[in-house]
Amino acid sequence: MTQTSNGTDTPSLRIKNVTSSGFEISIDEVVGIGNRSDGNHTSEIVGWVAYGLQLSTEI
């Protein structure tokens, strides 16, 4: 989620190349019908959180 609101157009975060050690984020500008992108967006601060899953074999 973007933590700032820089620029006049709405930013859209795209997350890709997700692995157990990281991921990549890009920011585009969303416009019009169908969430089309009109190109790069200005700089923003992005917040994120990662959760781990711990499995237990004990009952």
The pLDDT of residue 50? 81
The pLDDT tens digits for 3-17 are: 888 877 778 888 999
Sheet strands side by side (includes 11-19): 11-19, 22-31, 36-40
The pLDDT of residue 29? 78
Q: How many CA atoms lie within 13 A of 16 on its CB side?
A: 4
- Identify the DSSP state of 46: B
Tokens of 19: 């692995």
The pLDDT tens digits for 22-47 are: 899 988 877 656 656 666 778 889 89
